[in-house]
């Protein structure tokens, strides 16, 4: 519930009180003595669902042109008339399918508050990217989660969506700019921090070893299921914003979709392997677009429109165009995620089949110690180099390499895509191993 205070200009007192009487709203009137052309201050409690329609009616009698209105949250209202008013508006909102949503003015105010100023936004975004990079290189999920907590990414996404549906171009542009700045800043901060770790030898790893770290590896080839996080985050962010509840946990969810993959992109740049993190870069773009797309749809479906009725068609057109553009680009990028998903299953099947084939060719006293595969190609990777390490007793001859090489070569999938490669190279290495395995 909300407590609304309206400064009533001279000559508007009867019109304002008439609207409140017609709506059976309890109110208190105080004379205004500041000498600023205000006749009175009217205070009245409203259910959350009634704030927007009542303010629209007051706007219809000209209250907005010459006065200002304050809406604050109220904890408790004890009044039979208020209870009846609450029941009436709740039933109307349920019939309209809008639920218990806050007023348009509150929505815009919350979106403005959530979109931070540039300086703290830049600082917190850079810090979260650095912390995420450290967590990824340490292979520490706890540190990665900590980076999500401090990332201020929910505000810009919600500001862009709210500004679009209520036809507030300034708010929408601000949200879009902050999102672009945040994405570039996260990648840049992660790259700079990773470069420092590399040149100072704090992380003395090769690119191959870095990309083998669990927290890094799982974000190199994202699959279509990663999109679910962004879709859920966008919907949850819009609903939490429109219902007036805390968005802190939703902010962590949005950061979970954006911060770690941007840090992985920065790591790839620092280690001179930007092509290796293309999948993470695609995931970042997909998540940003998905969050904005779903938030737009949810807010529009909840009934938010511009405050001026003649701007509704313009806002509808802008919203539809933006939804269509986001959906088109998202569809293309999701196709890439689908290709990455297919590629990961393809490579996993190849390694499993190759392992089984090699073991079937080995004599009883020989053991497959490792199977290392190097992949190339985009978006679907194909094996280019296969290194097979076989252990055998020093007293016996090593197994023949020919049958092993033929079996692995025959199992290698054909290259797919314009950047695929062919001619799989199979290297077989032998290591003397006694019966104790040493």
DSSP 97: T
What does the pLDDT look like over 13-62, one tens digit per residue? Answer: 888 888 888 888 888 888 877 767 777 888 888 888 788 888 888 887 77
Q: How far is the C-alpha of 264 from the C-alpha of 278, rounded, in Å?
A: 10
Sign of CA dihedral 286, 291, 294, 296: negative
Give yes or no for a contact between 115 and 153, defined as CB atoms under 8 angstroms apart.
no
Q: How far is the C-alpha of 248 from the C-alpha of 259, rounded, in Å?
A: 16
pLDDT grade, residue 437 (50/70/90)?
very low
pLDDT at 417 over 70: no
- In angstroms, the first-to-last Cα distance of the chain is 74
Sign of CA dihedral 180, 181, 185, 188: positive
pLDDT at 155 over 60: yes
Q: Which of 117, 113, 148 is nearest to 132 (CA)?
A: 148
Q: How far is the C-alpha of 190 from the C-alpha of 197, rounded, in Å?
A: 11
Q: How far is the C-alpha of 263 from the C-alpha of 296, rounded, in Å?
A: 27
What does the pLDDT look like over 359-403, one tens digit per residue? Answer: 888 888 888 888 888 877 767 778 888 888 988 888 788 888 888
pLDDT at 424 over 60: yes
pTM over 0.95: no
What does the pLDDT look like over 180-223, one tens digit per residue? Answer: 999 999 999 999 999 999 999 888 888 888 888 888 888 887 77
For 369, how many CA atoms within 13 A lie in the half-sphere containing its CB? 17
């Amino acid at each position: 519930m909300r407590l609304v205070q309206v400064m009533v200009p001279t000559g508007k007192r009867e019109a304002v009180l008439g609207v409140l009487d017609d709506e059976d709203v309890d109110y208190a009137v105080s004379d205004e003595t500041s000498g600023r052309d205000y006749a009175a201050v009217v205070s009245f409690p409203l259910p959350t669902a009634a704030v927007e329609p009542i303010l629209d009616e007051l706007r219809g009698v000209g209250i907005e042109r010459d006065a200002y209105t304050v809406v604050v949250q109220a904890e408790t209202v004890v009044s039979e008339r208020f209870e009846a008013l609450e029941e009436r508006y709740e039933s109307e909102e349920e019939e309209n399918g809008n639920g218990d949503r806050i007023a348009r003015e509150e929505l815009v105010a919350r979106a403005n508050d959530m979109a931070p100023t540039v300086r703290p936004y830049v600082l917190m975004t850079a810090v979260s990217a650095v912390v995420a990079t450290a967590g990824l290189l340490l292979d520490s999920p706890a540190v990665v989660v900590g980076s999500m907590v401090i990332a201020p990414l929910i505000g810009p996404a919600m500001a862009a969506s709210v500004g679009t549906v209520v036809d507030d171009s300034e708010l929408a542009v601000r949200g879009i700019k902050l999102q672009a700045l945040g994405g570039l800043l996260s990648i840049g901060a992660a790259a700079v921090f990773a470069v420092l770790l590399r040149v100072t030898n704090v992380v003395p790893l090769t690119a191959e070893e870095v990309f083998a770290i669990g927290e890094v590896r799982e974000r190199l080839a994202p699959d279509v299921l990663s999109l679910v996080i962004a879709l859920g985050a966008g919907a949850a962010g819009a609903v939490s914003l429109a219902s007036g509840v805390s968005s802190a946990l939703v902010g962590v969810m949005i950061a979970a979709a954006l911060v770690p993959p941007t840090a992985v992109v920065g790591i790839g740049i620092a280690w001179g392997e930007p092509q290796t993190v293309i999948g993470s870069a695609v995931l970042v773009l997909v998540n940003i677009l998905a969050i904005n797309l779903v938030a737009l749809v949810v807010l529009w479906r909840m009934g938010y429109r511009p405050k001026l009725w003649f701007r509704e068609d313009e806002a509808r057109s802008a919203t539809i165009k933006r939804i269509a553009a986001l959906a088109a680009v998202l569809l293309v990028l999701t196709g890439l995620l689908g290709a990455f998903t297919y590629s990961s299953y393809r490579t996993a099947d190849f390694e499993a089949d190759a392992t089984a084939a090699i073991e079937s060719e080995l004599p009883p006293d020989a053991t497959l110690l490792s199977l290392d595969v190097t992949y190339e190609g985009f978006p679907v990777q194909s094996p280019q180099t296969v290194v097979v390490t076989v252990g055998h007793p020093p007293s016996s001859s090593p197994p023949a390499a020919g049958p092993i090489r033929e079996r692995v070569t025959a199992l290698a999938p054909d290259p797919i895509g314009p950047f695929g490669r062919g001619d799989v190279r199979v290297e077989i290495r032998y290591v003397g191993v006694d019966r104790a395995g040493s």
